[in-house]
A = this chain, B = another copy of it.
Amino acid sequence: MNNKITQLFDIHYPIIQAGMVWCSGWRLASAVSNAGGLGVIGSGSMKPDVLREHIQKCRLNTSSNFAVNVPLFSSYTIDHMKVIIEEKVPIVFTSAGNPSIWTQKLKSHSIVVVHVISNVKFALKAVDAGVDALVCEGFEAGGHNGREETTTFCLIPLIKKHVHLPLIAAGGIASGKSMLAAMVLGADAVQIGTRFVVAEESSAHLNFKKKVLSLKDGDTVLTLKELTPVRMIKNDFYNHLKEAYLNNASVNELEKLLGKGRAKNGMFLGDLIDGELEIGQVSSLLDVIEPASSIVEEIMREYNILKSEIMKL
């Protein structure tokens, strides 16, 4: 394939593996890049020295391009960016913060910058900041998300109408079918998180992977909108949150209830009861744990078959 995104990232297929805390280290990122997509290291769960190690190992394990995702609200952001520049990471995805602070700095080091948005307002801000492409993340996506609750089906055409940058659709995409639908809506590529959480190379705990494969529709929820909105599994921890909401918990009380380390406990250490288990709605369509390369191959196979059969619709 050859389009704006494959050219921008110098990759074979317009499939981006989402940078995800506790799931996407060098193993997953290098596997996806080796399969022809773009692997993304999720720095949100790494200290700067750990990030450096992952970047170096990723480079050792793939000769293809890869990226690092940096949530801009992290207290490590400055140190992470230092590591990224020193290690000459070719592509950075910024999220959850103001892109104007880092975009030009990164670009001055010839780094391609992509920013994650979930509404028109921040899309236009990212354009002003000079980013090279946008990830448009719909309401159905796992993990951190926007407050407007705009779904992938509405968000992609809407951003396309307002912005002339290459667009990467995120949220609800896990197959060649959903990839083609996203491209029809106007995306140039897709970012896939949930399906790569259950890849063999994902560092998610096996308990978490199995839990993800067992989910049905309605088993995830976008919550904690008063802090940073996040889509997670409705487990016991979520029930405590729900109770707190019913008791009119303040933002402080919610923060206290959330505490520290819950995402690690849930996704990396496998505590399905008290952990925070971030995952997308599309989990209800997934059945197997398989290598990242099989995921990329199957998606591209299905995408190409559907494309050739579309005249029948």
Extra contacts besides A161-B285, A183-B313 (14): CB < 8 Å: A3-B313, A119-B217, A139-B140, A148-B217, A148-B218, A150-B281, A153-B153, A153-B171, A154-B285, A177-B186, A178-B185, A180-B313, A184-B184, A307-B310
Q: Which of B155, B181, B282 contacts A181 (CB under 8 A)?
A: B181
Interface flag for A46 (CB, 8 Å): no
A151–B174 CA distance with the chains assembled, in angstroms: 14
Interface flag for A221 (CB, 8 Å): yes
Q: Which of B139, B218, B248, B306 contacts A184 (CB under 8 A)?
A: B306
Interface flag for A158 (CB, 8 Å): yes
A311–B3 CA distance with the chains assembled, in angstroms: 12
Contacts of A138 in B (CB 8 A): 151, 153
Interface flag for A88 (CB, 8 Å): no
Interface flag for A284 (CB, 8 Å): yes
Contacts of A148 in B (CB 8 A): 217-218
Q: Which of B154, B171, B183, B248 contacts A282 (CB under 8 A)?
A: B154
Indicate whether A184 sits within 8 Å of B180 (C-beta atoms), given known contacts A158-B285, A282-B154: yes
Question: Taking the nearest CB of chain B, how far is it from the CB of A301, in angstroms?
Answer: 15
Contacts of A172 in B (CB 8 A): 151, 153-154
A219 closest partner in B (C-beta): B148
Q: List 19 A-B contacts (CB under 8 A).
A: A119-B217, A138-B151, A138-B153, A140-B150, A147-B218, A149-B222, A150-B217, A150-B281, A151-B152, A153-B181, A154-B172, A157-B285, A180-B184, A181-B182, A183-B313, A184-B306, A184-B310, A307-B310, A307-B313
Interface flag for A267 (CB, 8 Å): no
Contacts of A313 in B (CB 8 A): 3, 180, 183-184, 307
A281–B140 CA distance with the chains assembled, in angstroms: 14
Query: How many residues in A have their beta carbons less than 8 Å from beta carbons of B?
Result: 48
Contacts of A281 in B (CB 8 A): 149-151, 154
A171–B313 CA distance with the chains assembled, in angstroms: 20
A181–B179 CA distance with the chains assembled, in angstroms: 10
Contacts of A233 in B (CB 8 A): none
Binary contact readout A158-190 vs B (1 if CB under 8 angstroms, 0 otherwise): 100100000000011101011011111110000
Q: Which of B152, B153, B311 contacts A173 (CB under 8 A)?
A: B153
Contacts of A150 in B (CB 8 A): 140, 217-218, 281, 284
Question: Taking the nearest CB of chain B, how far is it from the CB of A306, in angstroms?
Answer: 6
A221–B151 CA distance with the chains assembled, in angstroms: 12
